[in-house]
Structure 1
Amino acid sequence: MNKNSVIIICLSLLFVLSSCSNTEKLHLTNAEATITNDESIVGSFTPKGKEQKVIPTDLYYKFTVKNNSNKHITQIDEIKIDPNRKLLSVVKNTIGSNIYNIDESKLVWKQGFSEIPSKGKGTFTLNYTLGAEKKSKAYPPLPSKEDLEKLKDNALDGTLVMLENKKEIARFKLQPDK
């Protein structure tokens, strides 16, 4: 066997072994969804000329992602939920629009990121405002408790999508198939 053949076989073997590797760059370790009006999470505002502040109620997601690579992830541009059909139907029936589509939603949404160090974990949050109990021009009336409970029960029926430098870097099902 000549030297070139040995090099080609070694490179081919290295390529096959690296492509068969089961380690993923990123791994979703936790996904939670709650409906909250905790002011420390959702914020508040006081309408002009009013004394009482208005605290909205949000659908609040919290995700923990593990970075299995040797590279820090620092340039997360956006995280978003890609709802499945059932979640989308529940959201549209409860809220009247697709809160997950920024262009279609008439409500406020917020996102929070943390850097994910190499071989470490990062936390990400998404808030989608659903309405407020107090009458306000800023927020629609809050849906019924039954509708909110149905939304909470289905909130993890979708996929988390992460974008870095405007390119998709990860896509995670939020819960196993039912």
Structure 2
Amino acid sequence: MRTLVFATNNKHKLEEVQALIGDKFQLKTLEEIGCMDDIPETGDTFRANASQKSRYIWDRFQIDCFSDDSGLEVDALNGEPGVYSARYSGSRDSEENLQLVMSKMKGIGNRSARFKCVISIILDGKEYLFEGSAEGEITDERSGSAGFGYDPIFKPQGYDVSFAEMSAEEKNAISHRARAVGKLVEFLNQQ
């Protein structure tokens, strides 16, 4: 079994990705390798942030690792919150972030949005990038209690329920992260 460091402290992400990867790979957390640093995310794209995080771990620990950056892009908000999804309201409070999107979307007809995810993996010092997205729309009201972040107000294309109303298995079959991780796993299986 191959070990990879997943450069995150987000337990929800770790659980989602481990479920998608299965038992072919063992994921280690930053804490498990002794990294307690607040890894910078200063890029202006998901790609730049994902790359910055995995490069940070590789440069300091010389360990095969991957990171992701993901977020919500709302067309009527010119792509916001985008790379600022986790801190859109000025804090890392997911409820405040969700409420800000809902308030900005009041009365707006164009509800189209997408979740995007970019994964950067560094193996033996070489970087590879994988992307995934899930198209959908912002709902008028929140619904569901599963998931995290903006899940209660995002209804994926072709579904009548929000991400937060889906089981983990249902969401993991169609989410932006699932699509990016699927590409990552396919790549790793060829190594």
Greater relative contact order (CA < 8 Å, ≥ 6 in sequence): 1
On whether the aligned pair clears a TM of 0.5, the verdict is no
TM-score (norm. length: structure 1): 0.25
Give the structure with the larger strand fraction: 1
Give the structure with the larger helix fraction: 2
- Whose radius of gyration is greater, 1 or 2? 1
